[in-house]
Amino acid sequence: MDVQRRNNVRVTGRPDGPVVMLAHGFGCDQNMWRLVVPALAEQYRVVLFDYVGSGRSDTSSWSRERYASLEGYAQDVLEICRELDLREVAFVGHSVSAMAGVLACVAEPERFGRMVMVCPSPRYIDDGEYRGGFSEEDIGELLDSLDSNYLGWSATMAPVIMANPERPELGQELTNSFCATDPDMARVFAHTTFLSDTRADLDKVRVPTLVLECSHDVIAPRGVGAFVQASVPGSRLVTLDATGHCPQLSAPEATRQAILSFLGGPRDV
């Protein structure tokens, strides 16, 4: 198996620098990091990739069984780490990728040195006192709409997820990204994302962790970030002055400054 070709792995930055791996979220690909990469590449060896079924990955390697759980995405991460013999990785995961990173870090902790979770959510559905932002009925309707008309759902939901209506080009970019994904593969990824529950795995993370949230985010609302921070030992929470679920596009300067500040900080939990 050619993992680098399968996951469209691209390595840039300082060849001898510490490793930073950037992982995209649902409906996206590595291009979503393009406004953050140049600043990171000045000091770090930056590893980018597309999950199988996304971007320019080898979709012939896609398996419904594997990618119907977050463990399948975590395996993509781990297989890239093994292929490139990566250690002490600073893993930066956006949205659901933050949770795939948690599973990867718990499975092979020797591979990871730091974690950055950008707009994470360990569970999207409200559960007792836990407020994920959506009722079970909300998620059911969202997935039913996505299943019946993926392209229409993408055109409607992407601008809502991105927010920043005064900058419609951002919502259009996310729409285009969603629509470029194979609908059948996207449906599986969506069900995996919105029905996931990784709350029980958070306290198993044993590396310094930064939780980045936005001041207003309809997908991962305020309170979710605080839950994640309280659940991951020794982690810290930073609230970006940004709107929407994709601050690496809508507020790239604040996002990269927060990441760089954390990566340059103390290495103990």
Arithmetic mean of pLDDT, 212-219: 96
Residue 243: band (very low, low, confident or very high) from pLDDT cuts 50, 70, 90: very high
pLDDT reported for residue 268: 53
Query: How many other CB atoms are there within 10 angstroms of residue 262's CB atom?
Result: 20
Is residue 269, in this structure, part of any structural domain at all? no
Query: What is the residue range of 29's domain?
Result: 3-263
- Which parts of the chain fold into alpha helices (H)? 3-6, 37-41, 64-67, 70-83, 96-107, 136-148, 150-162, 168-180, 183-194, 224-231, 247-250, 252-263
Arithmetic mean of pLDDT, 14-36: 96
Torsion angle, alpha carbons of 251, 157, 175, 182, to 10: 130
d(CA 245, CA 49): 20
Q: What percent of the chain has pLDDT over 90?
A: 97
Is residue 268, in this structure, part of any structural domain at all? no
| Residue type at 265 in one-letter notation | G
| Residue type at 160 in one-letter notation | V
Residues identified as active-site? 95, 217, 245
The CATH number assigned to the domain holding 52 equals 3.40.50.1820
Average pLDDT of the chain? 95
Q: Quick check: 141 pLDDT over 70?
A: yes
Predicted TM-score of the model (pTM):
0.96
Q: Quick check: 124 pLDDT over 90?
A: yes
pLDDT reported for residue 262: 97
Query: Do 50 and 30 meet the contact criterion of CB atoms below 8 Å apart?
Result: yes
Count up the domains in the chain and report the number. Answer: 1
